[in-house]
Amino acid sequence: MNHVLGIDIGGTGIKAAPVDVTTGRLLAERAKVATPRPATPAAVEAVLRQLISDFAWSGPLGITFPGVVIDGTIRTAANLHPDWIGVSVADLLNDVTAGKQVAVINDADAAGLAEMRFGAGTGERGVVLMLTLGTGIGSALFYDGILVPNTEFGHIELDGEDAERRASERAREEQDLSWGKWAGRVDAYLDKMEQLLSPQLIIIGGGISRKSDKFLPRLTTLRARVLPAALHNDAGIVGGAMAAHDQTAALG
């Protein structure tokens, strides 16, 4: 029961790997498939089925989704097709998931769980904010290690726009921003988050965490410490798997 297939559904790619949830390590090389466009439930479901079959997986599943997830049902889908709203991911896959433990959790919440247990937030008390800068901006808020789910701080207003349209990795790429210009926007965003939440630690995740030398030194000082995610882009896979395992543990 300590081995869970983690599947991280992102706006750009869908990644999967079996995870040992006691160590946070991937048990095999991760697979990555481009997110189909349009990212309708049927198109994404086909990819999920393919990944489950490629890993010949019959154990528990932890799936992340880039939107609000309440009791396994998708409630928002800013960067995927709006047909997702109201869909239960476990129901979509019910023939392959019947009798198995399946958890579905917001992608940034999953990444945060993984960083708090195995990465940059290990042992941190008080308020910790994880932000993933990718196709969108995801957020996960912790107090004394306990997650407040579905915070959606990527959608606060920043300079008249949705924050993720200004400070995500996609905004940097699509608007062809220099690192300096983009770092200025990230700086304004972190400043605002600090004003609102006074975290003691901010963890920056997503693929961009591998390039933290390009922008972390350009940020102005906050009261909060700012660290790159230690698990980089694998945090979602690991945290998704942890969610399935924790659910099992909670159910006894």
The dihedrals phi and psi of 97, each to the nearest 5 degrees, come to: -100, -5
- Per-residue contact track with ligand BGC, 158 to 197, x per CB under 6 A? ------x---------------------------------
Residue of this chain nearest to ligand BGC (CB atom): 136
The residue (of 152 and 234) whose beta carbon lies closer to ligand BGC is: 152
- Using the rule CB under 6 A, give the single segment among 41-49, 101-109, 218-226, 244-252 that binds ligand BGC: 101-109
In b/e form, how buried is each residue of 229-244, taking b as 16+ CB within 10 angstroms? bbbbbbbbbbbbbbbb
**How big is the site for ligand BGC, counted in residues (CB under 6 A)?**
18
Q: In angstroms, rounded to a whole number, what is the distance separating the alpha carbons of residues 45 and 213?
A: 37
Q: Please select the residue that binds ligand BGC; options are 66, 119, 228, 240, rule is CB under 6 A.
A: 66
* Sites for ligand BGC among residues 107-146 (CB under 6 A): 107-108, 132, 134, 136-138
**Enclosing H/E stretch for 136:** none
Segment (H or E) for 129: strand 127-133
**Min separation Cβ 90 and ligand BGC, Å:** 18
Question: Which CB atom, from 68 or from 229, has the smaller least distance to ligand BGC?
Answer: 68
Instruction: Provide the β-strand partners of residue 9.
Output: 14
Q: Which is nearer to ligand BGC, 102 or 110 (CB)?
A: 110
Pair of tokens at residue 215: 């922008």
User: From the list 35, 106, 209, 233, which residue makes contact with ligand BGC (rule: CB under 6 A)?
Assistant: 106
Rule CB under 6 A: choose which of 41, 154, 199, 239 binds ligand BGC: 154
Nearest by Cα to 44 from 77, 70, 5: 77
Q: What is the DSSP letter of 87?
A: -
58 CB neighbour count, 10 Å cutoff = 11
Q: Which residue in 67, 119, 121, 199 binds ligand BGC (CB under 6 A)?
A: 67
Q: Say how far apart CA 21 and CA 5 lie, in whole Å.
A: 10
Does the protein bind ligand BGC through residue 79 (CB under 6 A)?
Answer: yes
Distance CA 151, CA 67 (A): 10
Rule CB under 6 A: which residues touch ligand BGC? 11, 66-68, 76, 78-79, 106-108, 132, 134, 136-138, 152, 154, 164
